Structure 1
Amino acid sequence: MKQVFNQILSSLMALLVLASTVSWTVDKHLCMGRVMDISLFLHADDCGMESAMTAMKDDNVQNPCCEDESFTITGQENLKLSWNDLDWDHQVFLVTFAHSYTELFVSLKERPLPNEQYPPPKLVKDIQVLDQVFLI
């Protein structure tokens, strides 16, 4: 179960890195204020109004109803961070977090017994039974 979770998590992290580094270009074709076509990475197809205007062969008529819009979301260019790019507070936090996280998985060979050198007291009478005080 743990291996499957690790594989899923690593795949999601790889997709996240890929999505953040790729530049996305969205191209829209608008005709009379309505979106006719949206395209990622390619040019959006037109509505056919341009070809109809050229078929009429009238050079004086402009096409005010159609327009193309495109915008680009740029991805990250520099993915390599150096230790000097971090503030002093962030460096201290990362070092202490890493140290405390690795100390969680260190197993102790022997558990220390705090009263190893002292023998337990000898009970002459059982006080709980005498006072009839029991934990329920």
Structure 2
Amino acid sequence: MYFCIVIKAILHKTFSVTLALLVLFSTVSFTIEKHYCGDVLVDVAVFTEAEKCGMEAMEMLQKKTCCKDEVDVVKGQDQLKFSSFDDLEFEKVQFLTAFLHTYIHGFESLPKETIPHKDYSPPNLVTDIQVLDQVFLI
């Protein structure tokens, strides 16, 4: 029984962290910069500027450029939807109110029963009457 409780707690924490990371990474934006020298990929950088191959000095002397830079921007979600209780429709509010009222008041505990003979010990048996008379409940 204890094992199930531990597994449930571990799964609960794992899913909570996973969902928090999912929300975090879905809202983060970042850039990927690539530097090509001719058709050869020289460097790829995330969040920073890609290193150049050193051919920029040669390109200043010549008009023709052989290097090119590509910048890929990965946009995160920047508009999150926030809902409040006031935005719900009347039918949904009515259902939630009825559900919560039933859930809260539906599990009332029963009154504690008193056992009148709990402090008395059973009588001492000299002989077992059932075995003596050969009467058994089946």
Q: TM-score, normalised by structure 1?
A: 0.54
* CA–CA separation in structure 2 for the residues paired with 1:107 and 1:62: 83
1:48 maps to a residue whose letter is G
Quote the residue 2:24 is aligned against.
18
Question: Partner residue of 2:38?
Answer: 32
Matches within 5 A, 1:101-116: none
Find the counterpart in structure 2 of residue 117 from structure 1: none
Separation in structure 1 between the aligned mates of residue 63 and residue 107 of structure 2, nearest angstrom: 79
Tell me the distance in 1 between the aligned counterparts of 2:9 and 2:21.
Answer: 18
Which structure: larger Rg? 2
Paired residues of 1:50 and 1:63 also in contact (CA < 8 A) = no
Report 1 or 2 for greater relative contact order, CA contacts < 8 Å, sequence distance ≥ 6: 1
| Residue matched to 2:121 | none
Query: What corresponds to 1:82 in structure 2?
Result: 83
RMSD of aligned C-alpha atoms? 3.3
Q: Which residue of 2 aligns with 1:67?
A: 68
Q: Which runs of no fewer than 5 residues in structure 2 stay unpaired?
A: 1-6, 111-138
**How far is 1:3 from its partner?**
0.9
Does the CA contact (< 8 Å) of 1:25 and 1:71 recur in 2?
yes
1:50 aligned onto 2:56: yes
Count of residue pairs the alignment pairs up: 95
Q: Unaligned stretches of 5+ in structure 1?
A: 111-136
- 1:80 deviation in Å? 3.1
For 2:65, the aligned partner's letter is P
Cα 1:109/1:35, change in 2 over 3 Å: same
